[in-house]
Amino acid sequence: MSERTRKVESQLKEITSEELASLSDPRIQGLVTVTGVRVSPDLAHATIYYSVLAGEDTEAAHAGLQSAAGRIQAAVGAQTRLKRTPRLHFEPDPVVERATRIEAALREVRTDDDADDE
């Protein structure tokens, strides 16, 4: 990955986070955190990875992000010096989901161990 790509990813993460904080959409306000950004080598597409506060409706958050994509993309275009603004795609962060599953499995093992000890 080139240094330029890393810089663009960092800028996109910062701009997206700021825009999400300023939105008044209740589906995402204060519930969504940008966890990472991956930009295609030609800078035409950007995948924004996000996590949702535990216990919140992830589908509603995704719908809220999709509806805000145009506004966020406009902010990216205004705040960066790119020939073309990358097309934004929002995806739940798979790392967060995996961590949640691992944590649940560990809790289950601990519960089983406690039951065996009694």
The domains found in the chain, sorted by start residue, are: 3-93 (3.30.300.20)
User: How confident is the model over 24-78, as pLDDT tens digits?
Assistant: 888 888 889 999 999 999 999 999 999 988 777 888 999 999 999 999 999 999 9
**pTM of the entire predicted model:** 0.80
Report how far residue 95's alpha carbon sits from residue 99's, in angstroms, rounded to the nearest whole number.
6
Which pLDDT score, from 0 to 100, does residue 104 have? 86
Give Cβ neighbours of residue 67 (< 8 Å, ≥ 6 apart): 25
